Structure 1
């Protein structure tokens, strides 16, 4: 326990127990009498803490504040474990998208640098030792994230210029954002689309411009959102659901059996230790790509339409090789 932790623990004990014997402090802080006296002198001399010895009660307590500034512990002191956790969170935030929350996080980071220096650990060394790698992430404009997040929380509509990559066209849309989703290294906003009058999911990386309006967002219930966006597979939602059944070889099962492909998936091992996985989907595009990652260690049992889709993709791929 470093000095910062000890100072907060002394303050906590005095507030919780009113009178604290010396032996309790030494046991709780795990320090010598001399170290405790130095901490006490620091609290009294530097922070103006009105801590006094009560002979009759047999312990230390807070007395009446004397002259000088009011006693108050600094509001942003962390122990080493908390500092490491916060810096790891900062690394994770950075990995979610360049520039996201940078303005909000940097003041905290400045304080973290100071505290890390007090612990004798360089923040640069920490960042070299903790890595979060982003794979298959598309660029998300930082200036688009904050207005989308603000509209989601404040329940306002958005005017967006959105590029549809499948049709290679850009449309102006008014949407009522419902929630932000971070999926497979990319950000999406699930929203009610006023152009199509239905629930849609829009990738932030496909947005060319974003403007918050003064109009209140149309509210969509969590149940309806789930029925459209969460019942299918991956990012492709839909109300018309089919169930896929895949079989993975015994060797590949060692990895796939530890994965979650869908919240409603069903799975089992057969007598030959092959792994069967059954889950719902509404659009074959994403699930087909995931199946192809495991070729030739996977078989599509059903439905036949999905098996035909994967077969066609394999044939098309062979023609290109």
Structure 2
């Protein structure tokens, strides 16, 4: 991309770590390009694996493309490249494709009025937010566990104590399920900050917790937890990610969540964490907390309570 004038390149990226990396490269980054009243000669797309989300992204790409412009997409072969190429062909017609380095790149014909307008309208709504779980929450394709309660989070919710109080945080809050459980179960919580790297999930959480606005002060932080958090808390709950967006295992991310939680908790503060049973978190837990215990296990997951040690007071000198 360095051969092109980067000042003319607008990057849409709703995942905070990736957005920050693009910004460090000197690029203009926004969470949603639809908020700009602009159309582009070229729209570059890296479609996700979730097909409804990918089709919606193709539709949005066409909507952002200027007349005569081109949509260019790239997908690795093991992430649905052939399906993605077929989808763009169905929507707008293909101008060409090539394969290299286990990837497929393909592009539309110059866009005019020839694309399928009905299909465009249908696909535009495929990743729209919608009610799930009998209307209890709103969610959308592409968000983690978007149409269900993740079983690990459900197990953690079952083991949350009713005496949580003061100011808390939910690290990796998703669409807000765990935060809703905390607020529903613990009457003495006065404030709760939700930290989430995916902006689309955080927007959903804001909607899903609207009914609790009078119960506690709520904060919504589009934030990469691995960089640390800026405040101190009485308690923290977390179902941390343990893989990248390409599904590669990354236990180091979970370990970093634990270390950040330890830094952010006040002395005596409590962390309630759920994790895959096999993940090697014990070393960082034992190094960072005074007390650590497993509260429950099921379906390959474990719930851990970790309490931050209270520094012992050194004896003072006798007054003369």
TM-score by length of 2: 0.24
Larger relative helix fraction: 1
Judging by fraction of residues, say which structure has more strand. Answer: 2
- Higher RCO, Cα 8 Å, sep 6+: 2
